[in-house]
Amino acid sequence: CHAGVVEVERSVTAVLGQDVVLPCRYRAQEQEQVVQVTWLKRGPSGHRAKVAVLDRQHGEHVQEPYVGRVLRRAPDGALEDSAIILRNAVQGDEGDYECHLSTFPQGSFEGHLTLKVLVPPLPILNPGPPLEEGQGRTLAASCTAEGNPVPSVRWETEVRGTNATRRSAHARSASVTSEFFLVPGRSMNGKSLTCVVAHPGLRHEKRITHVLSVAYLSDASVLGHTAEWQEGMEGATLTCLGDGNPPPTFNWTRLDAPLPAGVRVKGDTLVFQRPLTTADAGDYVCRVSNHVAAKEARANVSVKSRVTGRCHVSTPVPRVGVGVGSWVGSALSICPSVWAGTWRARAEHDPYVPSEEELTLTRENSIRRLHSSHSTDTRTQVRAEGSGGVGSLVSGDLLPCASSLQSEEPEGRSYSTLSTVREIETQTEVPVAPLLPVPVGKEPKDEEEDGGGGGGSGGDPIKQAMTHFVQENGMLQAKPSTNGIYINGRGHLV
């Protein structure tokens, strides 16, 4: 009769803290049966210690060190399956085990196996010292893992750096420590640094992630001011740009002067809560700071004065001899280039040669207009008719100039003109010509003389107007009249 065969695994691996099965099976022959099974553990010195005894009649008996931890896998089955379960394996359970079987009638058989208990690592990540931009090579973090066998440690990150690894052996385990070094920069702030640990006792790799924090402060700059800032502009703001870790604080000041009234600081922005004035011009300083550093940015703010680039002629050109001369003289004095260009253009289409009386009248009234303010008399309003006269030439035109017409006289010296000479009104538009003095010895004629000669020239409105003036010292002066009003000490008689 042939004996049976003992089936065991030569090596069994357990994970610390988990249950493990120590297999032992006997393939009995016909009319052969297992009556008892004894589990032994052999120590380092070769000494054997009982773990458990499985008997066909008396059941199970577990030795004291293993009570509560060892039990039969198939309690109701035949002893041919003699496997036991070792619960909550510890490192002390490692070693060689023997399975001794007593059979009838064939005798005793045994099998041998080796139990290895794996100690999975519990990795620990320790951040390095605080990181600041500008430092040299600095420890970012270290990762330590201890286990049996020795675990492996590596780093996963998009940050450039180097790592160094060291190992240490212990009685029943080994540890490994990996350190990651880098040169801190602001681009690394907020990036992830992950320690990855692999071990046979782990079903999956263990990962511990550390978020890098790099302290820094960026350069400061000011945004918002443009060359278009001018007096009266609303909604003006200056924004201070600066970034850092930790977030910086912002402070606004004005160089050599306090902040203007009506200007408020809101976080990183300087808000002008009112229209701009020329007094707002100056150097504004934004200071950005955190515990790393402090930086400043300066903005030179210029505010353009509100200057009227075009003169809007609001008083129409009168169709009166005196009024025409006064208005034309003022316009020529303020905007000569524009008036001259316009006159030349009109002269090409409608050439006109003024008489000496017209030249003298125009010059006299131009001088008067320069020493008086705008007249509000309704009789001086423009009735621009025709295509070649002064009325159509200037009515509604915009004259470019540096200041308004009202700036000719300083404050407190403006004059009002009351025109009472109704007889001077005419329907003829007087063209503008260069101002020339009255030739010496040339006297204006009387109304009677004008009316008596020229063959129907008595209807000439210029000659009719000249009847109200006399020549004195080469200049035309208004004849004394009861309806004339003396305005000032300059001899203006209107």
What local confidence, expressed as pLDDT, does residue 150 receive?
94
Give which of 376, 330, 354, 339 is closest to 428, Cα–Cα.
Answer: 354
**Is-cis flag, bond preceding 439, omega within 30?**
no
Structure-block tokens of residue 270: 């300087």
**What does the alpha-carbon distance between residue 218 and residue 293 come to, in Å, rounded to a whole number?**
9
CA 324 to chain centre: 60
**What does the alpha-carbon distance between residue 326 and residue 366 come to, in Å, rounded to a whole number?**
4
What local confidence, expressed as pLDDT, does residue 4 receive?
64
Segments in 298-398 forming alpha helices (H): 321-334, 336-349, 356-370, 390-394
- In sequence order, what DSSP letters do the residues of 264-299 get, joined into one string? EEETTEEEE-S---GGG-EEEEEEEE-SS-EEEEEE
List strands edge to edge, sheet with 294-301: 249-254, 282-289, 294-301
CA distances from 316 to 328, 377, 382 (A): 11, 11, 4
What local confidence, expressed as pLDDT, does residue 394 receive?
35
What local confidence, expressed as pLDDT, does residue 482 receive?
52
Give which of 69, 54, 65, 61 is closest to 19, Cα–Cα.
Answer: 69
Residues in the chain, pLDDT under 70: 1-4, 307-461, 473-474, 480-494
**What does the alpha-carbon distance between residue 405 and residue 84 come to, in Å, rounded to a whole number?**
117
Q: How much is the pTM?
A: 0.55
**What does the alpha-carbon distance between residue 40 and residue 49 come to, in Å, rounded to a whole number?**
5
> Which domains can be identified in the chain, with CATH numbers?
5-118 (2.60.40.10), 124-215 (2.60.40.10), 218-301 (2.60.40.10), 311-436 (no CATH)
Q: List beta partners, residue 285.
A: 253, 298
What local confidence, expressed as pLDDT, does residue 80 receive?
83
326-327-332 Cα angle (round to 5): 100
**What does the alpha-carbon distance between residue 114 and residue 465 come to, in Å, rounded to a whole number?**
140
Q: How many CB atoms lie within 10 A of CB 206?
A: 17
Give which of 100, 101, 107, 92 is closest to 44, Cα–Cα.
Answer: 92
Classify 390 as helix, strand or coil. helix
pLDDT tens digits for 292-346?
A: 999 999 999 999 998 643 333 333 333 333 333 333 333 333 333 333 344 343 4
Q: How many CB atoms lie within 10 A of CB 61?
A: 12
